[in-house]
């Protein structure tokens, strides 16, 4: 391909605070009757006054810190004016030129740095539902989601392909889950993705246009939408046409992006400072205090697991995927130490047996591992006699083995296991068989 993809991402994450961003309504709208979680403020009634949610601001800042951003000591909220059928005020309270965090980054496995331009706080909109009632097409509005705290994380256009985007998104999802500020469940719309895509002829040169694909709700669809756009734009460019700057949507059934609207500019939104909320002043002490709430993040945890526990990258990837599993594993390793149960044994147990870690405690796992390995501390005498018997009956196999057909060991192993007639660890048996064959 003579064009290089240039991709930047905007990601919205819903925070799981108890109450909404600017009022006391519950954020738990899922499955609730439409418009049952609303008040004068989140319905945009005249005179409703917003009161910012402190916890939400702190959590937004936590995300900023976790993404290596610079936290602003001075910031404010702004009104983003627009005709929103799903936001009754006619504007969204967001942050324009003073986001809570700026200039962060996230590093991909291959060492590539994805620059994060900004992390800012805003409010979610309501939900429109297009339905048919008595044969008539109607649009219904549910304001339960209106005013739920939303954090937007915007990258620089640093991605070159859909794989990098996917890795970044998975890492980002993992981080907000580790911080316990969002469940980032995509089916529920708690994490929504917007890739901006363009094609350049020269690395480092930004094309004079970009196409934004709005509100995608799965990693798979982002990948598909990006690859679809790359092809679509490539065809246009090859015909000498610069793709128009526009906003598109992802059509799941047709597997293609479709035009939604021609892109508006920032000044179309007539941003201005929110007059009902005073500017937010932070101090270095507050930021330091918040920093203490950041747990060991996945990449650092993975490094520690590697250096202290001698585990494979595969094991580490699974064990650090969510924080609860990683914490459980850490505790189990501590508990196991005095019983000489190794981290590898525990990792195997967690990965293969998949115990419900919500319902069990680490020390139980250690007990289980110990008792199962006890049944594996074999009756040496019995095993030796069984091995001898099997080998006696399979002299040809011994010759084959000695002539390099080491595969016959699997056949012999089967015979021993059958004759032994009790539960026993095949790996141990195989080791014993090998020892026997090599020494006799
Ligand atoms: P807007 O104001 O239209 O939202 P921004 O410049 O703020 O545009 O960028 C929005 C997103 O688009 C960012 O993630 C940014 O990295 C990305 N972006 C900017 N220029 C390009 C481009 N030429 N190609 C792809 N993505 C781009
Ligand atoms: Mg945008
Ligand atoms: Zn409300």
Distance 263 CA to ligand 2 centre (A): 9
pLDDT for 368: 87
Q: Quickly list DSSP for 380-401.
A: HHHHHHHHHHHHHHTHHHHHHH
Q: Above 70 in pLDDT, residue 263?
A: no
pLDDT digits over 115-156, tens only? 999 999 999 999 999 999 999 999 999 999 999 999 999 999
Q: Mean pLDDT lowest for which of 71-75, 88-92, 230-234, 383-387?
A: 383-387
Residue (of 139, 207, 197, 206) closest to 165 by Cα position: 197
* The two three-digit tokens of residue 103, written as one number: 């200039």
* The two three-digit tokens of residue 220, written as one number: 């798979």
Distance between CA atoms of residues 243 and 263, nearest Å = 12
Contacts of 183 (CB under 8 A, 6+ apart): 16, 177, 190
Closest approach atom of ligand 1 to CA 155: 14
197 close to 7: Cβ distance less than 8 angstroms: yes
Ligand 1 site: residues with CB under 6 angstroms? 6-10, 154-157, 196-198, 206-207, 210, 266
Distance 129 CA to ligand 3 centre (A): 20
Choosing from 159, 196, 206, 271 the residue with most ligand 1 atoms within 8 A of its CB, the one to mutate for a pocket test is 196
* The two three-digit tokens of residue 172, written as one number: 């980002």
Distance between CA atoms of residues 266 and 261, nearest Å = 15
pLDDT for 35: 97
Average pLDDT over residues 14-21: 98
Average pLDDT over residues 53-80: 98
Farthest CA pair distance, the chain:
94
| pLDDT confidence band for 428 (50 / 70 / 90) | confident
Q: Options 1.10.760.10, 3.60.15.10, 3.40.50.2300, 1.10.10.410; which CATH number does 380-439 get?
A: 1.10.10.410
pLDDT for 119: 98
Residue (of 216, 100, 222, 218) closest to 159 by Cα position: 222
Closest approach atom of ligand 1 to CA 158: 16
Distance 206 CA to ligand 1 centre (A): 10
pLDDT for 264: 66
| Residues whose Cβ atom is located within 5 A of ion ligand 3 | 23, 25, 39, 41-42
Average pLDDT over residues 377-392: 83
Average pLDDT over residues 325-340: 92
pTM for the structure as a whole: 0.84
What residue segments make up the domains of the chain, in order of their start? 4-289, 298-358, 380-439
Q: Above 90 in pLDDT, residue 372?
A: no
pLDDT for 429: 85
* The two three-digit tokens of residue 343, written as one number: 């981290």
Nearest Cα residue to atom 3 of ligand 1 = 265
């Amino acid at each position: 391909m003579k064009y290089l993809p240039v991709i930047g991402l905007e990601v919205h994450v819903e925070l799981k605070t108890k109450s909404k961003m600017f009022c006391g309504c519950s954020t738990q709208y899922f499955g609730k009757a439409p418009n049952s979680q609303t008040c004068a403020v989140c319905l945009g009634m005249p005179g409703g006054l917003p009161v910012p949610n402190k916890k939400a601001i702190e959590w937004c800042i936590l995300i900023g810190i976790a993404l290596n951003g610079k936290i602003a000591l001075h910031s404010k909220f702004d009104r983003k004016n627009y005709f929103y059928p799903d936001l009754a005020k006619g504007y969204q309270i967001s942050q324009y030129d003073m986001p809570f965090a700026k200039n962060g980054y996230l590093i991909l496995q291959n060492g590539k740095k994805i620059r994060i331009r900004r992390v800012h706080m805003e409010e979610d909109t309501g939900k429109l539902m297009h339905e048919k009632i008595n044969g008539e097409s109607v649009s219904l509005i549910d304001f339960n989601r209106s005013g739920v705290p939303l954090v937007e994380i915007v990258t620089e256009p640093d991605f070159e392909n859909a794989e990098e985007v996917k890795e970044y998104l998975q890492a980002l999802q993992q981080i907000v889950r580790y911080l316990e500020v969002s469940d980032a469940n995509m089916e529920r719309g708690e994490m929504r993705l917007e890739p901006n895509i363009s094609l350049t002829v020269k690395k480092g040169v930004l094309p004079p246009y970009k196409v934004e694909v709005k509100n995608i709700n799965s990693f798979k669809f982002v990948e598909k939408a990006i690859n679809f756009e790359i092809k679509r734009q490539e065809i246009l460019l090859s015909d000498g046409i610069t793709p128009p700057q526009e906003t598109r949507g992802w059509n799941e059934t047709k597997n293609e992006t479709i035009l939604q609207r021609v892109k508006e500019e920032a000044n179309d939104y007539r941003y201005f400072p929110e007059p009902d909320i005073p500017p937010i002043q932070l101090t270095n002490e507050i930021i330091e205090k918040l920093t203490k709430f950041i747990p060991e993040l996945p990449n650092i945890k993975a490094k520690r697991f590697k250096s202290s526990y001698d585990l494979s990258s595969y094991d580490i990837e699974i064990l650090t995927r969510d924080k609860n599993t990683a914490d459980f594993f850490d505790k189990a390793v501590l508990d196991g130490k005095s019983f000489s149960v190794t981290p590898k044994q525990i990792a195997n147990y967690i990965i293969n047996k998949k115990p419900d870690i919500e319902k069990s405690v680490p020390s139980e796992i250690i007990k289980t591992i110990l008792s199962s390995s006890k049944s594996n501390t074999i009756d040496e005498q019995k095993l030796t006699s069984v091995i001898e018997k099997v080998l006696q009956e399979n002299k040809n196999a011994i010759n084959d083995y000695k002539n390099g057909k080491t595969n016959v060991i699997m056949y012999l192993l089967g015979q021993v296991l059958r004759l032994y007639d009790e539960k026993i660890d095949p790996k141990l048996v195989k080791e014993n068989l090998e020892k026997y064959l090599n020494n006799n």
